[in-house]
Amino acid sequence: MRDYEAALLLADVASTDGDSRLQRRHGTPAREHVHYSIDGRNYEADIYRSDRDHRGNLLLVHGFTEDGRRDERLTAFAATLARSGFVVFVPEVEGLRDFSVSSREIEVLIDALRHSISDQGPAAGESTAIAAFSLAVGPTLLAASDPAVADSVSFLISVGGYYDLVDTLRYVTTGVDAGSGDARPPPPLRAGRWAVLLSQLHWLEDDDDRELVEQMARRRLDEPTAPLEDLRRQLGSQGRAVYDLVNNRDAEQVEALLDGLPPAMLEEFRQLDLANRDLSGLRADVVLIHGPDDPIIPLSHSLRLREALAGDRQVWLYQARGLGHVDVSPGLRDGVGLWRATRRVLLLGEEQTAEARQREMDHWKQP
């Protein structure tokens, strides 16, 4: 039955017209808009529930999108997960919404987990799973490793996540992936370098530099061959350092160019670099899902992340050919990896609720 449900979930994700067998069976989940506060910090989130909740709770972290938790792709995916038996909690993460990801997102996600497992949250004292995509995987992993919440995260799902930020930047700017060995990764997506540039604008201290660099990035995102020399000539020292790094084509120059970044930017970069962080605090099992032809973050990152996390927890890696970077388009032959990954997630959800029921039974058996 789980094999069949995994196929239904993927068909629901791949449905372009919103019509699928899973939707016909379970309809449109209810979406509740909630406000919550942790130590005076105020947040918003959405909770998705369907007519079934036998797989427990899942905190879903959105990626880089100006629409945040209301991105159409994310809301559709949250609805699919709810139809498949999860209670889905989707917090708003402003740093991902305005492309200014930093270590502060770790605190935001710790707060989201704290609320989720609180008496007022959807998990209400029980454990929760957590899922993230792409560059949001780093802050999510670090948040799930925090002692305040680590014991309450049952499993973690990473889709197209990174491990080494230096190598991520090297690949997206030069096409060289140091972790691939003899394997040749696909050519990087040309727009990737400019998306990375947008994500770091907030660390530039000079307002003029910040505005100029943003114009550069958006100009190239709109037109890949648009001229930039008129803007480059106006840059100050910090803006020039960032531009030189993003526009670099020499793989061997990446480290030296990184050292020239503004100190605050460089420190944040190091805080989010999983290759240099202690991940031993993570208690959750981990499901890594990665497309072998990912043009933004190569598969080698999930391979190295699996090695780094192996030990006291279970780690599964699924190479999913039906996956580009984070967009799903499974076909009859290419969807097998995604189907296997989906089946694992459904099983872990069932185990999560089984453990919760056993704890409740044990509680009532006590004299």
Each residue's pLDDT tens digit, 118-147: 999 998 888 999 999 988 999 999 999 999
Q: Is the pLDDT of residue 327 over 70?
A: no
Q: Residue 164: what pLDDT?
A: 95
Q: Among 176-185, 205-214, 276-285, 310-319, which stretch is predicted with the lowest mean pLDDT?
A: 176-185
DSSP string, 253-271: GHHHHHHTS-HHHHHHHHH
The mean pLDDT of 297-326, rounded to a whole number, is 88
Q: Residue 356: what pLDDT?
A: 56
Q: Among 3-7, 10-14, 293-297, 327-331, which stretch is predicted with the lowest mean pLDDT?
A: 327-331
Q: Is the pLDDT of residue 99 over 90?
A: no
Cα–Cα distance between 76 and 5 in angstroms, integer? Answer: 17
Q: Residue 357: what pLDDT?
A: 57
Whole-prediction pTM: 0.90
The mean pLDDT of 103-110, rounded to a whole number, is 94
Quick one: pLDDT band at residue 215, thresholds 50, 70, 90?
A: very high
DSSP string, 325-361: SS-B---TTTTHHHHHHHHHHHHHHHHHHHHHHHHHH
Q: Distance of CA 167 to CAs 148, 172, 244, 261, 361, Å?
A: 30, 9, 17, 16, 48
Mean of pLDDT over the chain: 88
Quick one: pLDDT band at residue 363, thresholds 50, 70, 90?
A: very low
Which amino acid appears at position 303 of this protein? Answer: L
Domains and CATH numbers, the chain: 2-164+276-365 (3.40.50.1820), 183-271 (no CATH)
The mean pLDDT of 184-195, rounded to a whole number, is 83
Cα–Cα distance between 178 and 294 in angstroms, integer? Answer: 15
Q: Is the pLDDT of residue 362 over 90?
A: no
Q: What are phi and psi of 330, to 5 degrees?
A: -70, 140
Quick one: pLDDT band at residue 102, thresholds 50, 70, 90?
A: confident
Question: What percent of the chain lies above the pLDDT cut of 90?
Answer: 54
Q: Residue 14: what pLDDT?
A: 80
The angle at the Cα of 47, spanning 45 to 50, to the nearest 5 degrees, equals 165
Q: Among 17-31, 112-126, 222-236, which stretch is predicted with the lowest mean pLDDT?
A: 17-31
pLDDT tens readout for residues 62-84: 888 889 999 998 999 999 999 99
Evaluate whether 29 touches 48 at the Cβ level (below 8 Å). Answer: yes
Q: Residue 332: what pLDDT?
A: 44
Identify the residue with better confidence: 219 or 364: 219
